[in-house]
Amino acid sequence: MIKIVVIGAMGRMGRLIIQTITEDPDTELCGAVEVFGHKDIGKDIGNLCGLGTLGMPLSDDLEKVITGSDCIIDFSTPKSTLENLPVAAENGTPVVIGTTGLTGRKEMKQIRLYSKKIPVLFSPNMSIGMNILFKVVRDVAKFTKGRFDIDILDIHHRTKKDVPSGTALKLAENVAVARGLDAKKNIHFMRHETNFTRDPNEIKIMASRIGDIVGEHTVFFGGKGESIEITHRASNRQNFAEGAILAAKWLVNQKKGLYSMSDVLGLND
How far apart are alpha carbons 109 and 84 in whole angstroms?
15
Question: What are 41's strand-pairing partners?
Answer: none
Alpha-carbon span 267 to 136, nearest angstrom: 10
Interatomic CA distance for residues 188 and 202, integer angstroms: 7
The arithmetic mean of pLDDT across residues 71-88, rounded, is 95
**One-letter amino acid identity for 45?**
I
Query: 259 pLDDT band (50/70/90 cuts)?
Result: very high
Paired with 65 in beta bridges are none
Q: Residue 269 — very low, low, confident or very high, per pLDDT cuts 50/70/90?
A: low
pLDDT for 194 equals 80
Active site residues: 156, 160
Where exactly does CATH 3.30.360.10 map onto the chain? 128-234
pLDDT tens-digit series, residues 135-187: 999 999 999 999 999 999 999 999 988 889 989 999 999 999 999 999 989 99
> What is the average pLDDT score of the chain?
93
- For the CA atoms of 230, 235, 241, 247, what is the dihedral angle to 10 degrees? -20
- In three-state form (DSSP H/G/I as H, E/B as E, the rest C), the secondary structure along the chain is CEEEEEECCCCHHHHHHHHHHHHCCCEEEEEEECCCCCCCCCCEHHHHCCCCCCCCECECCHHHCCCCCCEEEECCCHHHHHHHHHHHHHHCCCEEECCCCCCCHHHHHHHHHHCCCCEEEECCCCCHHHHHHHHHHHHHHHHCCCCCEEEEEEEECCCCCCCCCHHHHHHHHHHHHHHCCCHHHHEEECCCCCCCCCCCCCEEEEEEECCCCCEEEEEEEECCCCEEEEEEEECCCHHHHHHHHHHHHHHCCCCCEEECHHHHHCCCC
pLDDT in tens, 125-137: 899 999 999 999 9
Give the long-range contacts of residues 233-238, CB within 8 A, separation 24 or more: 234/127, 234/130, 237/12, 237/13, 237/16, 238/16, 238/20
Dist CA 32 CA 41 (whole Å): 10
Q: Is the pLDDT of residue 251 over 70?
A: yes
| Cβ proximity of 247 and 96 under 8 Å | yes
User: Which regions of the chain carry the CATH code 3.40.50.720?
Assistant: 2-122+237-265
* pTM of the shown model: 0.86
Instruction: Name the CATH code of domain 128-234 (choices 3.30.360.10, 1.10.300.10, 3.30.70.20, 3.20.20.70).
Output: 3.30.360.10
CATH superfamily of 2-122+237-265: NAD(P)-binding Rossmann-like Domain (3.40.50.720)
Is 189 exposed, middle or buried (CB count within 10 Å of its CB: 0-12, 13-18, 19+)?
A: middle
pLDDT at 175: 96
Predicted local confidence at residue 241, as pLDDT? 95
